[in-house]
Structure 1
Amino acid sequence: MIAATKGIAPQRSLLVVGAQILQILDHPMTISQTWTRLREWRATNGYHAPVPFWWFVLSLDVLYALGVIELDRELLSRRRADVASAGGR
């Protein structure tokens, strides 16, 4: 589920979807803006395996648990490297 398995295609694993989210998260966005951009990015880049919204949300959960994204005032953004490495949330 988090990584690719026999039942989960590599392009649908939570880590791959999370990496794709980080790739498009170049500035703070709402969850719905991020979801729209992710779907557009996947279609443009040949990722045709369907990713439902709940799978997108699980990917956000993984990224949050890893400390690489944050949600502040309804805007999703990457955490700064200096904050993430300090361990402070």
Structure 2
Amino acid sequence: MIAPTKGIAPQRALLTVGAQILISSERQMLTVDQTWRRLQTWRADNHHNAPVPFWWFVLALDVLYALGAVELRNDVLVFREAPRAA
């Protein structure tokens, strides 16, 4: 579920969808709805045809939150910058 498995296609794994959320959001501050729409557009533009329902998108946001990559402030998703290597 989090990573691709025999039953979960790589396009639908939560880590993959989470990465796509980070890419499509361009790390801007967005509402959940804006982020959802950007993800849908990005997936269509990049020929990711496996369906991702809204609840799966929310699970991917949960994974990003657990990893410390995103948080919700005043109804806006705030994407954190990745720490830079020394």
SS in 1 for 2:11: helix
**2:61 matched to 1:60?**
yes
* Amino acid corresponding to residue 3 of structure 1 in structure 2: A
Question: C-alpha separation between the residues in 1 aligned to 2:64 and 2:2?
Answer: 11
- Any idea what SS the aligned residue of 1:77 has? strand
- Show the counterpart of 2:15: 15
Give the number of aligned pairs. 82
Q: What TM-score does the superposition give when structure 1 sets the normalisation length?
A: 0.88
Which structure 1 segments of 5+ residues have no match? 83-89
Q: Indicate the residue corresponding to 1:38 in structure 2.
A: 39
Query: By percentage of residues, which structure has more helix?
Result: 1
- 1:15-74 CA-partner distances (Å, limit 9, x unpaired): 000000011222100000000010010000000000000000000000000001111011
Q: Sequence identity, in percent?
A: 63
Contact 2:25-2:39 at 8 Å conserved across structures: no
Query: RMSD value over aligned CA atoms?
Result: 1.0
Give the alignment of 1:73-84 within 5 angstroms: 73-81=74-82
Q: Which runs of 5+ in 2 are unaligned?
A: none
